[in-house]
């Protein structure tokens, strides 16, 4: 996984609530079997509109998406995170994220920053007024710095540690192999298995 420490980039004000993962990446792009190359799929329908924010300079080259509340609702598709990363987005800022999307982001190295709706409003206003403004996102101090203010954000300490170190979960879990084996010996015998003679 890509490490995350600090990131400076252009903010993209995406003034919509309830952005679901079908919008972030429509299902027809989910037929691919690769894990990369999804940049064309990001917001594919909305990008057909020439006035969409990602078709507007300088936002089209942005890397910090500032979106409305309840970002990433709906389908569990991790392709949504891959689409954002492949496009060049490193940070998504919102007042609330859907759980599965947020979990997927943490696994793939995309930082999700949760701030208040008022902070989102202030960032939107700033990015509208001063499109060229760079935002500095610092994971260690948990701050977004703009020319006008410093916004603190909360992040799960474990997710923060993993992002800073770039650790992947599987190797961390494999260190507990003995505990997994011990648990397996305790499992009730009546639990089902997935073996079928007829299938």
Partner 1 sequence: MGFTLAEKVWNNHIVHHEDGSPDLLYIDLHLVNEVTSPQAFEGLRNAGRMVRRPELTLAMEDHNVPTSGLDKPIDDPISALQVQTLRRNCAEFGVELFKMGGEEQGIVHVVGPQLGLTQPGMTIVCGDSHTSTHGAFGALAFGIGTSEAEHVLATQTLPAAPFKTMAVNIEGELPPGTSSKDVILALIAQIGTGGGQGYVLEYRGSAVEKMSMEARMTMCNMSIEAGARAGLISPDRTTLDYLKGRLKSPQGEAWDEAEALWLSLSTDPDATFDAEVTLDAGSIAPYVTWGTNPGQGIPITGSIPSPKDFEDERERKAAERALSYMGLEAGMAMKSVPVDTVFLGSCTNGRIEDLRTAAGVLNGRRIKPGMRMLVVPGSMKVKAQAEAEGLDQVFADAGAEWRFAGCSMCLGMNPDQVGPGERCASTSNRNFEGRQGLGSRTHLVSPAVAAATAIRGTISTPADLN
Residues that bind partner 1 (CB under 8 A): 15-18, 20, 22-23, 26-28, 30-35, 45, 68-70, 73-79, 81, 96-100, 103-104, 107-108, 117, 156-158, 169-170, 172-174, 176, 179-180, 183-184, 187-196, 198-199
Residue number, 6 or 27, with CB nearest to partner 1: 27
- The least CB distance from residue 58 to partner 1, in Å, is 24
Judged by beta carbon, residue 117 or residue 130, the one nearer partner 1 is 117
Alpha helices in 79-156 (DSSP H): 79-87, 99-108, 117-129
- Residue number, 148 or 169, with CB nearest to partner 1: 169
Q: Residue 23 or residue 63: which is nearer to partner 1 going by CB? A: 23
User: Please, what sign has the CA dihedral across residues 62, 63, 68, 72?
Assistant: positive
Nearest distance, CB of residue 49 and partner 1, angstroms = 12
Contact indicator for 95, 114 with CB cutoff of 8 Å: yes
Can you point out the beta strands (E) in the chain?
Answer: 6-14, 64-67, 91-94, 111-114, 134-138, 143-145, 150-152
- Give the angle subtended at the CA of 84 by the CAs of 149 and 48, to the nearest 5°: 105
Smallest gap, in angstroms, from Cβ of residue 89 to partner 1? Answer: 17
- Residue 96 CB, nearest approach to partner 1 (Å): 5
């Amino acid at each position: 996984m890509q490490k995350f420490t600090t990131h400076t980039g252009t903010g993209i004000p995406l003034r919509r609530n309830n952005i679901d993962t079908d919008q972030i990446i429509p299902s027809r792009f989910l037929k691919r079997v690769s894990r990369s190359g999804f940049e064309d799929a990001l917001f594919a329908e909305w990008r057909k509109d020439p006035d969409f924010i990602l078709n507007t300079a300088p936002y089209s080259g942005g890397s910090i998406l500032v979106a409305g509340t309840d970002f990433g609702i709906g389908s569990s598709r991790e392709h949504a995170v891959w689409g954002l990363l492949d496009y060049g987005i490193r940070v998504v800022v919102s007042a609330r994220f859907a759980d599965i999307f947020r979990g997927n982001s943490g696994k793939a190295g995309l930082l999700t920053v949760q701030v208040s709706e008022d902070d989102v409003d202030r960032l939107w206003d700033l990015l509208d007024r001063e499109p060229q403004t760079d935002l500095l996102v610092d994971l260690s101090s948990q701050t977004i710095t703009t020319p006008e203010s410093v916004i603190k954000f909360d992040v799960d300490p474990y997710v923060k540690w993993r992002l800073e170190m770039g650790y992947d979960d599987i190797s961390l879990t494999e260190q507990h192999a003995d505990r997994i084996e011990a648990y397996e010996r305790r499992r009730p015998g009546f639990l089902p298995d997935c073996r079928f003679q007829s299938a």
